[in-house]
Amino acid sequence: MSKDIDIVSRWVDRSRRVVALTGAGISTDSGIPDFRGPQGVWTRDPKAERLSNIHEYMSNAEVRKLAWRSRVDHPAWHARPNAGHRALVELERRGKLHALVTQNIDGLHQQAGNSPERVIEVHGTLHQAVCMHCEWRGEMLAILDRVRAGEDDPPCERCGGILKSATISFGQALVPEVIDRAMRAAEHADMLLTVGTSLQVYPVAGAVSVAKEAGARVVIVNAEPTPFDNVADAVVRLPIGEVLPRLCGGGSFSSTSNS
C-alpha cells in the first residue's frame, strides 16, 4: 500500500490542474459528523431529516425554531481544519489546485486557507443566511446572535420573510450555476481527487465520469467502497488525515504535517 501511495503522490507531482471533490469524510476529524451521506445522521433518522426538509421548513414554524436551535449548536462554529484540509491548502500553494468542489457546508476549506474563489460549495454554506422571499443574503453569525437574544424564528429585516441558512435542504433544487462550475472544473482537470465522499449523491458524483472522459486521472480516497472504484486509477482506503498530506505535499510536507 505504501508503494501505491508513492505512485499516486508522483501523479500529483506531475499534475497541473487537480480538482479535489470533498465530502463529509474530510471533516469528521474536525468533529463534524456526516449528516446527509448514505450513513449520515439525517439519513438514518427520518425525524431529523424533517428538520432539513424545505417544505416542512417553509410551512411549519416549530420546524424552523428547531432548525435555528440546531444552527446555534452546530459543531462547525467550534471546528478547526485538520491535516486533510491543510493538505489541500498545500496543493494550492504548490500551484496545482484548479478547483475545490465540496459537498460540505462547514467552510473549513476556506478557514484552512484555500482561496474562496477556488472553493465551489455545491450544497451551499452554513456561514451565510438567505431570505426565502427577497434577495437578501448576509452573515449567519449576526442572525444567530438574534436567536441567542430570544428571536426563535428571526424574520428578514428587509421584508419580514423567512430566513434560512444558505445551504441546500432536502427537497430544494441545487443552484444550476454552481453545479455548472463544478462540472466545467472537472472537464478541465488532469486529476480528479475525491476525498471523503461516498460518491452516491448526484449530480455531483457525475463529476467523476466527466473528468474521466476528459482524460483525467481519477484518485478516490474514501474509507468505504464507492460506485466509481472500478473506473478509478487508484483507490486509497487509508485515513484521510494520514494519507492526504503524503499525496498532496510533494517532498516537503512531512515536516509540517504533525502541526
Scanning 27-35, 71-79, 148-156, 224-232 for contacts with Zn ion by CB under 5 A, the matching segment is 148-156
Please tell me which residue in 85, 98, 123, 127 is annotated as part of the active site: 123
Q: Which is nearer to Zn ion, 155 or 250 (CB)?
A: 155
Q: Which is nearer to Zn ion, 156 or 208 (CB)?
A: 156
Residue 158 is a binding residue for Zn ion (CB under 5 A): yes
**Cβ 129 to Zn ion shortest distance, Å:** 10
Location of C-alpha cell 481527487: 193
Q: By CB under 5 A, name the one of 61, 159, 214, 223 that touches Zn ion.
A: 159
Pairing of strands 119-121, 97-102: parallel
**Cβ 159 to Zn ion shortest distance, Å:** 3
Q: Residues 100-139 vs Zn ion: string with x where CB under 5 A?
A: -------------------------------x-xx-x---
Told to judge if 123 belongs to the known catalytic residues of this protein, a careful annotator would answer yes
Scanning 68-76, 156-164, 189-197, 238-246 for contacts with Zn ion by CB under 5 A, the matching segment is 156-164
Residue 155 is a binding residue for Zn ion (CB under 5 A): no
Count residues binding Zn ion (CB under 5 A). 8
Tell me which residues touch Zn ion (CB under 5 A): 131, 133-134, 136, 156, 158-159, 161
Catalytic residues: 123
